[in-house]
Every structure is written in structure tokens, then in C-alpha cells.
Amino acid sequence: MSQAYNVTQKLIKDHLLKGEMEPGKEIGIRIDQTLTQDATGTLVMLELEAMGLRRVKTEISVQYVDHNLLQTDFKNADDHLFLQSAAQKFGLWFSRPGNGVSHPVHMERFGKPGKTLVGSDSHTPASGSLGMLALGAGGLDVAFAMAGEPLYFKMPKVLGVKLSGKLPDWVSAKDVVLEMLRRYDVKGCRGMVIEYYGPGLDNLQAMDRHVIANMGTELGATTTVFPADEMIRKFLKAQGREEDFKEILPDESAEYDLHDEIVLDDLVPLIALPSSPGNVVPVSEVAGREVGQVVLGSSANPGLRDFWIVGAIMEGRTAHTDLSFDINPTSRQLIQNLAASGQFQNLIASGGRFHQSGCMGCIGMGQAPATSTISLRTMPRNFPGRSGTLDDQVYLCSPETLAAAALTGKITDPRDLEKELGIKYPKYQPVEQELINTQLLIAPPESGENIELVKGPNIKTLPQFEPLQQNYRVPVLLKMPDNVSTDEILRAGAVVLPYRSNIPAISKWAFAVIDESFHDRALEAREEFGGHIVIAGENYAQGSSREHAAIAPKFLGQVAVVAKSYARLGWQNLINFGVLPLEFVNPDDYERIEEGDVVKLKGLLESLNKEEPVVLINETKEENYEVSFSQLSERQKEIIRMGGIINYFKEKKVSTKGEVERPLR
Amino acid sequence: MSQAYNVTQKLIKDHLLKGEMEPGKEIGIRIDQTLTQDATGTLVMLELEAMGLRRVKTEISVQYVDHNLLQTDFKNADDHLFLQSAAQKFGLWFSRPGNGVSHPVHMERFGKPGKTLVGSDSHTPASGSLGMLALGAGGLDVAFAMAGEPLYFKMPKVLGVKLSGKLPDWVSAKDVVLEMLRRYDVKGCRGMVIEYYGPGLDNLQAMDRHVIANMGTELGATTTVFPADEMIRKFLKAQGREEDFKEILPDESAEYDLHDEIVLDDLVPLIALPSSPGNVVPVSEVAGREVGQVVLGSSANPGLRDFWIVGAIMEGRTAHTDLSFDINPTSRQLIQNLAASGQFQNLIASGGRFHQSGCMGCIGMGQAPATSTISLRTMPRNFPGRSGTLDDQVYLCSPETLAAAALTGKITDPRDLEKELGIKYPKYQPVEQELINTQLLIAPPESGENIELVKGPNIKTLPQFEPLQQNYRVPVLLKMPDNVSTDEILRAGAVVLPYRSNIPAISKWAFAVIDESFHDRALEAREEFGGHIVIAGENYAQGSSREHAAIAPKFLGQVAVVAKSYARLGWQNLINFGVLPLEFVNPDDYERIEEGDVVKLKGLLESLNKEEPVVLINETKEENYEVSFSQLSERQKEIIRMGGIINYFKEKKVSTKGEVERPLR
């Protein structure tokens, strides 16, 4: 690597604890800040409790409540109180229900140029807009970062995207990232950090950059990075914390591993069709389709500008009577500033249905569209059924395109508002000083020693797991095909989500999508044999990073999965919770073993040490198969030996500097 | 009756079609306006469809959407579209989701002094604040009113409540009705209309009167009536429709059947303890208890003043960090006026969690409190579990008392804000002209002939039922004790409510609280015997007026209920849906008949005509019991003979004038 660095390289170099900055090689970096939200955070807090952590070791950790806001019974409200007590106990800031969506609030109140951030939410990269290295990760990774451990990942390639020019009227930041999605689709940037640079940046405010960084996640990127330039100084000043600014620019002769360029002037209003964020076309191509709902808001268009522009377009006009005009404010602060700007009043007068601030419809927490109707949203994702309506038709677009549909009742190129309705494009002037109060943000107390965790009846301490045994004799409880996803292993949805802080309860849905009897059979097998194994094909546990897909089967006695191959995150989660991720040495053996067979695994501890294949003895069939541990690091072997990463942490806490510290309890 | 009339008598006299105005005697009155909301309205619209109604015959009928707003899947959103299409087809105004709670919106936009209103919602009496006779009723009563039929009920006694003096600072209209509840509890005004009069009225704005009339329902009153005086003229003027004003005052020598008096100056802040609105004590008696949530809003405190006063108290202050400060705006119009007044901004700045407009937490649609925490609400009801949290602790109070708790985190007498915190009581000045737009109100089209009902997959046309047969041989499927409520016959709640427009689907929960196997056994009996009967003790079908507790059993083949006695509304609903409401002539026979017995009913048509007891032949036990039809009117006999009131309507439409018209189709 040359001595000239791009922003991404600077950020990594400044935080590098382990490994070399060569693309593809594993590195470990120091984490300055963490972000957790309620849907994943309750498990993280239970993990911190199980790890025996006394106090987070990061500079700043913040627990947000933005997902599970509807409170149709006591469970979500109880989770909020639990999270508040856990934040106090472990030393996190707590952002109360109603304070807003984690990503924009974090950017406004906590983000700092030059810092690293890891969050248990895939849109954490949004803070890359500030010149931070901001990464999404699984809950345990975030818990470990809070405990002062490095975050491990493969050194990404850096895709430099040069921006030049200026966005035309009726085109905004959302169209920039939709253009990226049009070019790269949803997997095109895997293993990359996208770094934007060039003169076009002078025309993109900090919150515009947030829009682009947020949806970098949809491109499959590790994260997105922007420089911290004068625009960021202005933003931090408007947020009342100019002192947090630090300039971080790419060195003049900085190089990128990959190259692309966007001329902002050439962009047109774009829209992602159902049901993938990568399914992007110009709005004009699908103009005229009838729209039943528009939803403004979410972390993908959270800024004052994004609401202001819609208010300004709607001023003195009314939304079409055949659609629901849903407004999903980002945060308490956004509402306050929107009201001060006068545009809140225009949105209400035009017929807007104004909801509480939070993620809401973006994660299917209300606002589900009616059957066979089109919903236009400024949100980041339109995966099938994510809205809450199974056969939904969700389109993703900019606030301008949303406003055009709100007025006409049809998908409409917003430029036609000017051409055909004579509406002039409103010019947004960024506010020099936003109204700020931190009423819903609670600082951590000096000490959490005497704080009791507030656990409602649905919040259960994590179960403890035993170390790996030498030998097992257990039944095969399930045989699954290729590509089984975490949604099949443990589904999400309004019924199951409220149990995410209750492992015994949520385990009732383990594999229920595949076989409703699984839970009961697993308990019987745990009673009779002390556990079970399952068989799977290729790419086991693909999909989301949810840890419940490992911990719930573990709770039910899962000793091992034997698969042809694994998805990376699912494999990692099995290890973290001490389930053996075994692979068939001869994939054809998959055909020979069946549900109901009783198998023996012998001499596991030695095999693990020696990295030797294990003989899986099929007692029922009177056959043997070779199965292997694949590519386990020494650390991962130890985690498995100890029965999971929480036991590992408790018994052998390794500090960020590599020395062994005394156990925390 | 003398020639001097009170307001109640004037309103009834002007609309009397049947009967005499003697307390206790049945009367039939002409209905000018109807109100339906979404939770009951989908069934009403399906009934109108089944009746073959072409167009409502009322002066104004309005379909509101305010209950089922959360949209966690397609069902609620589909219902909204269905209701919109039905409103167009049948000639109703449609108040779209987001427009607000039916009662205040109706009062602001449609209510007129001197008119009658019937609504399928128990808080319909709120419009009595305008000098209307406004009654809550079951869905079919409202459907019949729309079809131009009289509304029948027993002529109530009129309780005249003389108001004098002026409310002290920190005491408001909610405390007036809480004082009534302290005096009369929740059943003390059954069979009465409460009519307020006297000089104290000059100090109660129209919306203050709404607060009092709304919660008259909690007193068990038939309705509450206020005169239409200058205060009402001012209100209608502020709503831009002074022309709708008509003075209606009690005659000078008007008399009341019953008498009471309230000296407003003597009132203190009151609060209803869990879990009954009648459980009222002075706030000072329970001061100091910790509060986890406050919820401002609902039809019981819907006015601009009620939000304004909380905003003014909170101005420059912040809500206590240990409670959730939930704000539940009444309507789009309220939000707009609140923002114009500047108090919206104060509510947000103080940490308010601002929700969409509608009933929301008042009917457990979100905002459920956490386990073992106190929730203070300005709402009308605190029945156990209504909030969504089974073991909830909901207190009902005024906006002033709510603000005091929001500031201190504890139940606090609001007068202590002045004494101890030096906060002066803010003086509200009514707005002379409110901001009004009707963006979310859709007028009915000239003709609904060509409008198709929009039925999502969960909306099913009402099943058709056969006329009564002469003989049945059917099994006894269930034997129930005394006091079985409609909540046991067909429960409410977030899981079941979305099926209220789908009788086949909702019938799966019929009697499920008592016996989960009921639905399947009923289908088997329908197949094998053509139906079934059930046995009950005293006071069968008490509780809410929900019609599903009759139509769902009917759908499953219920021929008759044989009970010791009935609750009035439940009895009426059985008749309306053509289920025989039989009574044991000898109540001891209840002990002899058992679940599983097969019984015969013979010669029903003759017995019905002659009002003779029927012999219930217990084939299994080889015993006979006498059972009777009790107190059926000729009209009710005909309804039963025809298999329900919808068949009756279709075959023999009787106009409001008593002539027989041609069937509508």
C-alpha cells in the first residue's frame, strides 16, 4: 500500500489492532462507539448480563428504542423498561421510545468524524456520512465491542465513486443511491467499502450523504464512507457540537481498489420496483400506475430537508383522496424543527396521517398496505412481505417522487409537477442552528453497580450452556434441503418478535416453518438423549444475521448441524453459541442419513484439537460417515470447546491489547 | 305530561313516530343522522348489502375510521377501502383513516342542534353536547335507521342536573363527569337521560359539554343532553357553520323526573382508580403513586382546550424521564389548530410521543402499559385489560391532572403545581375561528348505483339464513352457567378483531373461551343434524352489544338458546339473527338436560303464533321440558319466523310512516 491513503484506509489504519490491511485478509479493529436498537438490543443486553460485564469500555454506546413501538400488550413496553435499566447498569446512553430512529439520531447527537461504530442493525453504515467507519454486525459482535474486544472482519476493497456536478431540480440524494443500485444491484458491492469523493460532494449536505450511506447496505457493501469536510463541520455546528468536528479527507494521491463515477447533473428520478431495492428504473417508465399509499420517513430519508421538501410541494394542496398519505417522522427533534419551519403544518393541512417517530412501517410495524395496492415509500427496503402484507407491492423512491404521487394518486415523474402543474421546485436552505433538546436521551449514571435489571415476565435471563462433551449419542431430528434460511430456522413477524428477549419461549418456533412438531420432539430428545442433531444441504442458515436461529436450537439441545456447506453468518452464529457446525466430507453421505436415525459422535475434543474429521456413527443404519470442522481458528475452537462465546468470555477474557485479564466475575 | 318541556322531551316529541312519551313505555323515533365507526361499521355495511339497501334515507350518515388503525397486516387496510366503497355505494360521508375520532369530528362537522343521531358506538351520546338526542345502539339498529326505520327504545326518565357557579383553576369538565360517576357509579343512571341546565352552563364551552356527555355512557345513561344555547352558536361559528345553529332551551317551567345539582366551584380534581370509571376519589387521596405512562387524548377529552392546557403547562418544562408521555391527537383538525396555537410545539419539546389521530390506546390499539406500572389517561374507560395489558392499572383523569403527573412522575393534585412549583394556571381563550379543512372527509356521490364494494380477501358477504322450520332434532352442544358474557361467546382483542368483517372466519372463536372444540363440533352437528342448541343459566349474553355473539353461532347452525333468563341486548341480538331465545318454564329443568343430549323441538311455528310454550323433547334422557318464548312483539315473532331481521327487511320493508313499501329488490 502506498503512503497516500483514502478515507477508509485512514479510518482502518487508525484503529487497526490485528492483521494486515490487505483486501481479503482478516483484520481486527478497535471500536469507539456502538449502537443497538430494541429488536436486537434486548438479546445484546442479556448477553452482556451473561458475560458478567460491569461497564462498557467504548467511548460511547447508545441503546435506541425505535422498532417495537406499537405496544399491543405489555411485552414491548416491558422491553423498553428493561433496556432503560440495562443501559443504566452497563453504562450506555438510552434513547427513549419516541426519540427517533437510531441512525439519524446517532448521527445528529453522537457521531464523530474519525471514529469507528459498530451497530446491531444493518443500516449502521449511515454514520459513514460523517467520515466514520460504521459497520453493522450481529449482536454478540456488538456485545464484544462493548466489552472492549476488537471487531474482526475481512479487509474490504475500497470502491472509489467520484461525484461531480450538481443534482437537477426534482432529483435528490435518494436518486444517487438508487442509481448505484441500478448499476450494482443488491449484491454488487459485497466485500467492498464504497467511498465517495470528488467535487460533487460540495452539493450534498450531511443528511444527503446519510441517505446514500444508509442504503449502501442494500448494495451488499461492508460500509459506505464519506470524507469529513466543511459540509460536515456545518452539520455538526447546526447540531450544536462543532467541537466534535475533525477534518478527514483522502490524501491527494489516494488510490482506490475499484473505480466508478456519477455525474449528478445526469441523474433522473429513479424508483425501485417490487420487491427488491436493486430493481431500479426511471420513474417515467412506470408513471401512471395507481398508488394506494405513500409513506414518508425512515432512516433512508430521515432529514429535515426530506420532510421539508414534501411539505413545500404540498403547501396549499391536498393529497389525493384515494391514497393514504402516511408520515413517519424520524425523531422528536425532526418534528420540532419541522414545526418551526412551518412545513409540519403544510403536511397536516394537506391530509397527512402523522405517526409516532420510529421505524414503524419500514419494518412492518404498522402501516401495512391494503391487498393489491401499490405503496410508495422513501424507505430502504421492499423485500416481499416486509410491509406486513404478504403479497405487497412496495416501491422505493425519493421524497420528491413520493410527493408527486401523493398529489396525483399515481406514480408520477416529479419533474412533471413543474411541467404540467406549474409547481416550482422548492429550494431548501439548510438550517444554521437546529432546535435541539435531549429530553428523551438519558445519560448513563456514573456507576451502574447498584442498578437492578427490570425484567418483565417475558424477559428471561439467557440459559447457561455446558462445555463440549467428548461423546454424544443423539437422534437426527430434522433433515433439510439446500439454502435453508434463518427465516425458516426462526421466523420473524409480529407474533414471534415480542419473544426475542425470552429464549425458552421463542424456541417454540424453532424450525416450526419446516416442521411444527420440532420443538416438542427436541424437548423429548433432550430428555432422553441429552440433545439432537439436524442435517442440512448446501448454504445452511443463509439470510439475516439473527442470533436466535442459533441460540434457540442450542437451548433445545442441538449438539451439531451436519451440512454440505454453510452461509458465513449462520456458521459464525452456530460457533458463537457452541453448536458444532460439521460438514460432510463426502457430500453423498447426505443421502444416506435420515430423520429418526440415532447417531454417535465420539472423541470430539481430540478431533477438534487435531483438526481431524470425526466419524459419525449411524447406529440405526449401521453405517459410518466422515464429517469435519472446517476452517476453525484457534479462537473458534476454544469457543466451541467451552460451549459458546459467552462462556469463553467469562473464563478467558482477552483485552483489546491481547493480554489476558482476570475474569470479570 | 305538562305543556312545558325540557330539552330531552322537546327532542323526542319532535321525532316521535310510535308510542307514548311515558317513562318505561316503548317509543319509536325518527333518526336524522347516523354514525358508524370501523370496528362495528364493516358489519353494518355488510348488513346494508344483505338488506339490499340502495341509499341511506337519513339526512346525514357518516362512516368513520378511527379504531383499527395499526395495520399490522392487510386486513385493517382492506377494511378501510371496503368502508370507503360502501360509503360511496350507500350514500354516506366517509371520514378517512387519520381524520380523527368519530365523536368529536361528528360534533365539529355534522352535528346540529335539534337533530337525532344514532351510532354503533357507545360514546355516541357525546353529540348531546350540541342539543341533539344522540344514542348508541347495535349495528343492526343503526342499519335500520339508515334504511329509514324508527329507532325503538323505552322512554327514559329525565334526570335534570342543575349546574351553578364556575370551575376553579386546575379543575375542568372531566372533573364534572367524574363527580357524577362518584355520585352514581357505573350503573346509577340506567334508564335515564341526563339533562344539564342552569347558570353554570355559561362557564362550559361546547367541547367541555362533549366531555361530560361522552362519559355519560359510563353512568349507564341512555344519553346525555345539553341545551343549544349561545355557547353552541359560538362553537358552530368557530367551526364555520353558524347557519346550522338553532336555539333549543328547556321551557321555563320545564320539569324533570329526577333531580340533582352540582356547584362547579366546589369541585376538586378527581380521578377514577383501576379498574372502573365509577371508582372515583379526589386526586389528593392517591397522590404520590409512581406513574409509568400518561396518555392524553380520546373522545373523552378531545378538544383543542384539552391539549392546549397540557401544552401550556408543559411549556419550557420537560416530562419526567421515567414515564412515557403519549399524545393521542383527536383529529387532523385538532393537530392543525394545536400547531397554530403553538402548543403542539411545546408538547413535542417537552418530550411527548405523538401518535396518529384516532382512538388508539383507548381501545387497546397500541400504547399498552408495561407490567405493574400505573397509566394515567384522559380516556373514558379503564376496564381491566382494555389497555392491552391484562393486569393493567389505568387511572382516568383530567388533562390538568395528567400534566401534573407528566411533570412530577407521580400522581399529583394539579393545584399543587401552583402551590409548590409556582406554575400559574394557564387561561385558555377559545378560538373564534378554527382552521378547517375537510381533506380527509369524502362526500357521498350523487348516485351509488355503479359503485362496486371493494372486498379484500378477508371481507365476506354475510351468509344467508333460512326461515324458521317447524321441527328440529339437534344435539345440545354446550351447557353454560349463569352470567355468560358476550366476551365469552365471542371475544374481542387484537387477534380476533380483524375478522369482524368475515363471519365464517370469526365463527372459529365462537364460545372458544368456554370450549375450544365448540367450532368443530358445531360444524359436525350442522352436517349431521342441521344445527344445534346450547343451554345457559341466568342473564345469558350480558356485556357488550356486539352482534357477532349472535351471528357467529347462527352461522354455525345454532337453532336456539335455552336459558333461565337473558340480558336485554343479547336477547335482542339473538332475535335479530333468527336464533330462538327460549326460556325454561321450570328453571329446575336446567339441571336435568346435559351436553350431548339430543333433543327435538316440534311445532315451532304454531307455538310461536300462539305464544304457547314448546315441549323440548330430550330424546337421550327420555324426558320432556316446557320452554317458552318470552315477551316477543308481533314484529319480533315475524323476524324469527323469517330467519332474522335482514330477511324480514328484504321481504317486508316497513317505512317510517308505517305503510308497506315494495321490497327494495
Give the B window 326-345 contacts with A, CB below 8 Å: 332, 335-336, 339-340, 344-345
Q: Which helix (H) or strand (E) holds A645?
A: helix A645-651
Question: Is there a single domain that holds both residue A251 and residue A278?
Answer: no
Question: Is there a single domain that holds both residue B137 and residue B14?
Answer: yes
Q: Which of A231, A266, A301 represents a domain boundary (last residue)?
A: A266
Q: Could you tell me how many CB contacts below 8 A there are between chain A and chain B?
A: 171
Strand pairing partners for A295?
A326, A377
Give the A window 148-167 contacts with B, CB below 8 Å: none
Backbone angles phi, psi at A258, to 5 degrees: -140, 160
Q: Which residues of A touch B315 (CB under 8 A)?
A: none
**Which whole number is the average pLDDT over B158-185?**
98
Question: Is there a single domain that holds both residue A330 and residue A477?
Answer: no
Query: Residue B472 in contact with residue B276, Cβ under 8 Å?
Result: no
Distance separating alpha carbons of residues B483 and A350, to the nearest angstrom: 50
Question: Is there a single domain that holds both residue A125 and residue A191?
Answer: yes
Q: A318 and B437: CB-CB below 8 Å? A: yes
Distance from A114 to chain B by nearest Cα, in Å? 31
Q: Which residues of A touch B351 (CB under 8 A)?
A: 96, 98, 332, 439-440
Q: Which residues of B touch A494 (CB under 8 A)?
A: 72-73
Q: Which residues of A touch B72 (CB under 8 A)?
A: 70, 364-366, 368, 388, 494
Q: A74 and B389: CB-CB below 8 Å? A: yes
Q: For an interface test with B, which of A72, A317, A325 has the most B Cβ atoms less than 10 Å from its Cβ?
A: A72
- What is the structure's pLDDT at A385? 84
Distance separating alpha carbons of residues B609 and B637, to the nearest angstrom: 8
Q: B345 and A340: CB-CB below 8 Å? A: yes
ipTM: 0.91
Of residues A410 and B570, more confidence is placed in: A410
Q: Which helix (H) or strand (E) holds A406?
A: helix A399-408
Question: Is there a single domain that holds both residue A182 and residue A256?
Answer: yes
Identify the three-state secondary structure at position A262. Answer: strand
Half-sphere exposure of B77 (CA within 13 A, CB side): 26
Q: A71 and B366: CB-CB below 8 Å? A: yes
Of residues B496 and A431, more confidence is placed in: A431
- What is the structure's pLDDT at A660? 33
Select the residue of A77, A370, A389 nearest B81 (Cβ to Cβ). A370
Q: How many CB atoms lie within 10 A of CB B311?
A: 25
Q: B339 and A319: CB-CB below 8 Å? A: no
Question: Is there a single domain that holds both residue A136 and residue A224?
Answer: yes
Closest B-chain CA to A438? B351
Q: B370 and A439: CB-CB below 8 Å? A: no
Distance separating alpha carbons of residues B477 and B524, to the nearest angstrom: 11
Q: B368 and A456: CB-CB below 8 Å? A: no
Task: Divide the 665 residues of chain A into consecutive groups of 10 and give the mean pLDDT of each group.
Answer: 86 96 94 95 95 95 95 94 97 97 98 97 96 94 94 94 98 98 93 97 98 95 97 98 98 97 98 96 98 98 98 97 96 97 97 96 91 97 88 96 98 97 96 92 95 96 94 98 89 78 95 94 97 96 84 97 90 93 96 97 93 94 94 88 92 49 31
Select the residue of B80, B81, B336 nearest A349 (Cβ to Cβ). B336
Question: Is some CB atom of chain A closer than 8 A to the CB atom of B368?
Answer: yes
Is A186 part of a structural domain of the chain?
yes
Residue B652 has pLDDT above 80, yes or no: no
Half-sphere exposure of A337 (CA within 13 A, CB side): 23
How many distinct structural domains can be found in chain A? Answer: 3
Select the residue of B325, B335, B366 nearest A348 (Cβ to Cβ). B335
Question: Is some CB atom of chain A closer than 8 A to the CB atom of B443?
Answer: no
* CATH assignment of the domain containing A604: 3.20.19.10
Select the residue of A345, A370, A439 nearest B78 (Cβ to Cβ). A370
Q: For an interface test with A, which of B73, B75, B335, B336 has the most A Cβ atoms less than 10 Å from its Cβ?
A: B73
Q: A73 and B344: CB-CB below 8 Å? A: no
Which range marks the domain in which residue A395 is found?
Answer: 270-415
Is B458 part of a structural domain of the chain?
no
Q: Which residues of A touch B332 (CB under 8 A)?
A: 348, 351-352
Question: Is some CB atom of chain A closer than 8 A to the CB atom of B291?
Answer: no
pLDDT tens-digit series, residues B320-368: 999 999 999 999 999 999 999 999 999 999 999 999 999 999 988 899 9
**Which whole number is the average pLDDT over B145-158?**
94
- What's this model's pTM, rounded to 2 decimal places? 0.92
Question: Is there a single domain that holds both residue B281 and residue B371?
Answer: yes
Q: A74 and B388: CB-CB below 8 Å? A: yes
Query: In angstroms, what is the C-alpha Rg of chain A?
Result: 25
Distance from B74 to chain A by nearest Cα, in Å? 5
Distance from A406 to chain B by nearest Cα, in Å? 13
pLDDT tens-digit series, residues B208-255: 999 999 999 999 999 999 999 999 999 999 999 999 999 999 999 999
| Residue in the structure block whose three cell numbers are 383507548 | B362
Q: A96 and B321: CB-CB below 8 Å? A: yes
Is B466 part of a structural domain of the chain?
no
Q: A371 and B456: CB-CB below 8 Å? A: yes
Distance from B238 to chain A by nearest Cα, in Å? 17
Question: Is some CB atom of chain A closer than 8 A to the CB atom of B318?
Answer: yes
Q: What percent of chain B has pLDDT over 90?
A: 85
| Residue in the structure block whose three cell numbers are 416438542 | A520
Is A421 part of a structural domain of the chain?
no
What would the grid cell of residue A4 be? Answer: 497516500
Q: Which residues of B touch A335 (CB under 8 A)?
A: 348, 354
Give the B window 391-430 contacts with A, CB below 8 Å: none
Question: Is there a single domain that holds both residue B332 and residue B210?
Answer: no
Query: Residue A139 in contact with residue A6, Cβ under 8 Å?
Result: no
Identify the three-state secondary structure at position B102. Answer: helix
Is A189 part of a structural domain of the chain?
yes
Q: B70 and A71: CB-CB below 8 Å? A: no
Give the A window 78-107 contacts with B, CB below 8 Å: 78, 80-81, 96-98
* CATH assignment of the domain containing A355: 3.30.499.10
- What is the structure's pLDDT at A664? 30
Distance separating alpha carbons of residues B113 and B397, to the nearest angstrom: 29
Question: Is there a single domain that holds both residue A256 and residue A354?
Answer: no
Question: Is there a single domain that holds both residue B536 and residue B514?
Answer: yes
> Which spans in B384-516 are helix H?
399-408, 415-421, 486-489, 503-506
Q: Which residues of B touch A74 (CB under 8 A)?
A: 368-371, 388-390
Query: Residue B328 in contact with residue B361, Cβ under 8 Å?
Result: yes
Q: Which of A242, A266, A290 represents a domain boundary (last residue)?
A: A266
Is A442 part of a structural domain of the chain?
no
Distance from A587 to chain B by nearest Cα, in Å? 42
Question: Is some CB atom of chain B closer than 8 A to the CB atom of A389?
Answer: yes
Helix/strand/coil (H/E/C) assignment for every residue in A132-186:
CEEEECCHHHHHHHHCCCCEEEECCEEEEEEEECCCCCCCCHHHHHHHHHHHHHH
Query: Residue B161 in contact with residue B260, Cβ under 8 Å?
Result: yes
Is A17 part of a structural domain of the chain?
yes
Query: In angstroms, what is the C-alpha Rg of chain B?
Result: 25
Q: A349 and B70: CB-CB below 8 Å? A: no
Q: Which residues of B touch A293 (CB under 8 A)?
A: 77
| Residue among A510, A514, A484 at smallest CA distance from A499 | A510
The amino acid at B524? E
Question: Is there a single domain that holds both residue A57 and residue A182?
Answer: yes
Residue B653 has pLDDT above 70, yes or no: no
What would the grid cell of residue B453 be? Answer: 364494494
Q: Which residues of A touch B369 (CB under 8 A)?
A: 71, 74, 77
b (16+ CB within 10 A) / e for A216-245: bbbbbbbbbbbbbbebbbbbbbbbebeebb
Give the B window 21-80 contacts with A, CB below 8 Å: 70-74, 76-78, 80
Distance from B336 to chain A by nearest Cα, in Å? 6
Select the residue of B70, B339, B351 nearest A339 (Cβ to Cβ). B339
Question: Is there a single domain that holds both residue B235 and residue B327?
Answer: no
Select the residue of A77, A351, A365 nearest B369 (Cβ to Cβ). A77
- What is the structure's pLDDT at A487? 81
The amino acid at B458? N
Is A353 part of a structural domain of the chain?
yes
Backbone angles phi, psi at A31, to 5 degrees: -105, 125
- What is the structure's pLDDT at A31? 98
- What is the structure's pLDDT at B631? 79
Distance separating alpha carbons of residues A587 and B616, to the nearest angstrom: 71
Q: Which of A385, A415, A445 represents a domain boundary (last residue)?
A: A415
Residue B663 has pLDDT above 60, yes or no: no
Select the residue of A72, A388, A456 nearest B494 (Cβ to Cβ). A72
Closest B-chain CA to A80? B370
